[in-house]
Amino acid sequence: MKIYIAGITVAALVTISCVAKADTASDTIALVKSSNADCLQCHQIDKKIVGPAWKDVSAKYKGDQTAQAALVDKVIKGGKGHWDSVTGGYPMTPHPLKPSKEEIEKIVASILQL
């Protein structure tokens, strides 16, 4: 009986985890759309468009305590070199005015949770 209950508990936690990831992905897309940002022209959650997939960004920076600030700075200022093997050398365009820094911070935080 204990094994059966443990199995059900594990299955429930896996299901909750998958739903939470889906909610995080949906939340990320909603944040981008609500800020009228152009992120989706180059990025998607799980596939490369021009820039890397956001899940790949999240995986690359997992556990990096400096990632949030560095990525916010990268979105605002643009850049090149960190994803050349994915982008073929195409640079990240700068976004100094739109979306706002606060919106960029929320979007980046959401991406890092994917």
Which residues are within 8 A (CB) of 56 and not within 5 positions of it... i.e. 6 or more apart?
A: 48, 86
What is the C-alpha separation between 73 and 19, in angstroms, rounded? 30
Each residue of 5-27: pLDDT tens digit? 544 444 443 433 333 444 778 88
What is the C-alpha separation between 111 and 30, in angstroms, rounded? 12
| Tally of domains within the chain | 1
Containing structural domain, residue 34: 2-112
- pTM of model > 0.95: no
Each residue of 66-101: pLDDT tens digit? 999 999 999 999 999 989 999 999 999 999 888 999
Query: For the domain that residue 11 is a member of, what is the CATH number?
Result: 1.10.760.10
